[in-house]
Amino acid sequence: TVPSSELLYIGFWTDKGNADNETLTLLSTLKNRRIFLFGTAGFGGSDAYFQK
């Protein structure tokens, strides 16, 4: 359950430029809400990450 806050801060790990599937599913359930999104990309310059 998502709290009824004035503003939701939602963070996620970035998977090749997009949010992960769990976050995308959550976001699809939120209507008429103020949301601050932030993503992280902790790939560390890994060649294997970019090969996928």
- Between CA 35 and CA 28 the distance in angstroms is 12
pLDDT for the residue 44: 64
Give the residue carrying structure tokens 């709290």: 3
Q: Note the pTM of the prediction, 2 decimals.
A: 0.69
The total number of structural domains in the chain stands at 1
What residue spans of the chain are helical by DSSP H? 21-29, 47-51
Query: In this structure, is residue 1 part of a structural domain?
Result: no
Taking only the tens of pLDDT, the chain with its 52 residues reads: 787 888 999 999 887 788 999 999 999 999 999 999 999 876 666 777 667 6
Please name the amino acid found at residue 17: G
Structure tokens at 38: 């932030």
3-state helix, strand, coil split of the chain in percent (to 5) is 25, 30, 40
Task: Determine, yes or no, domain membership for 14.
Answer: yes
Domain interval for residue 20: 8-51
* Residue 21 domain-assigned (yes or no): yes
User: Which stretch of DSSP H or E encloses residue 9?
Assistant: strand 8-15
